[in-house]
């Protein structure tokens, strides 16, 4: 079961990363996926509420994945 949950979360996270990149490119067309690791290099991204929202959604998804991995180690 854990593998299925992790696989599902992995897919959701990849989709959200794509959404974040798409949002970033609407704001700064030349931005790359690597650039999104340091959005503070792009003031237009840094201060854009939609970009920050999508970034927060991604961070939340990643946090859930890490928390479930930790829980799995405790229970197995």
DSSP letter string, 16-65: HHHHHHHHHHHHSTT--TTGGGSGGG-HHHHT-HHHHHHHHHHHHHHHHH
pTM of the model: 0.90
Does the pLDDT value for residue 76 go beyond 80?
A: no
pLDDT category at 1 given cuts 50, 70, 90 is confident
Residue 60: pLDDT band by 50, 70, 90 thresholds?
Answer: very high
Span 52-61, average pLDDT: 98
């Amino acid at each position: 079961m854990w593998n299925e949950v992790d696989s599902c979360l992995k897919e959701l996270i990849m989709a959200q990363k794509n959404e974040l990149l798409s949002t970033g490119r609407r704001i700064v067309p030349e931005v790359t996926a690597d650039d999104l690791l340091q959005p503070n290099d792009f003031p237009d991204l840094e201060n854009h509420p939609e970009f920050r929202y999508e970034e927060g959604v991604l961070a939340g998804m990643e946090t859930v994945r890490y928390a479930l991995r930790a829980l799995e180690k405790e229970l197995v």
